[in-house]
Amino acid sequence: MKKIAVAGTGYVGLVAGVCFAEVGHDVTCVDVDEKKVKLMESGTSPIYEEGLEELMKKNNATGRLRYTTDYRAAYCQADVIFIGVGTPELPNGDANLSYIATVCRQIAESVEKDCLVVVKSTVPIGTNDKVEQFIRDFLVRDVKIEVASNPEFLAQGTAVRDTLHAARIIIGTQSKEAEQLLREVYEPFGLPIVAVKRRSAEMIKYACNDFLALKISYMNDIANLCELVGADIEDVAKGMSYDERIGSRFLNAGIGFGGSCFPKDTKALKYLAKQYGYELRTIEACVEVNTRQKTRLFEKAKSRMITFQDLKVAVLGLTFKAGTDDLREAPSSENIKLLLEQGAHIYAYDPVGVPRAKLEFPEGKLGRGEIHYVTTIEEALKEAAICFIFTEWQDIKELPAAEFKNKMRIPLVYDGRNLYDIEKMKEEEIEYYSIGR
Long-range contacts of 45-48 (CB under 8 A, 24+ apart): 45/14, 46/9, 46/14, 47/10, 47/11, 47/14, 47/324, 47/325, 47/326, 48/324, 48/325, 48/352
Q: Yes or no: say if 307 and 297 are a contact pair by the CB < 8 Å rule.
A: no
Q: Yes or no: say if 52 and 90 are a contact pair by the CB < 8 Å rule.
A: no
Q: Yes or no: say if 394 and 322 are a contact pair by the CB < 8 Å rule.
A: yes
Which residue out of 104, 226, 261, 286 is catalytically annotated?
Answer: 261
Q: Yes or no: say if 206 and 181 are a contact pair by the CB < 8 Å rule.
A: no
Q: Crossing angle, helix 127-138 and helix 98-110, to 10 degrees? A: 40
> For residue 111, which amino acid is it?
V
d(CA 435, CA 74): 50
d(CA 340, CA 355): 19
d(CA 106, CA 89): 23
Q: Yes or no: say if 276 and 259 are a contact pair by the CB < 8 Å rule.
A: no
CB-based contacts of 292: which residues, under 8 Å, 6+ apart? none
Q: What share of the chain is helix, strand, coil (3-state, %, to 5)?
A: 45, 15, 40
β-sheet bridge partners, residue 80: 4, 116
CA 397, 248, 149, 128 torsion-angle sign: negative
Of 358, 265, 346, 272, residue with least CA distance to 313: 346
d(CA 348, CA 288): 28
> For residue 326, which amino acid is it?
D
Active site residue 261: yes
d(CA 108, CA 389): 49
d(CA 349, CA 162): 28
Q: Yes or no: say if 300 and 414 are a contact pair by the CB < 8 Å rule.
A: yes
* Catalytic residue positions, numbered: 261
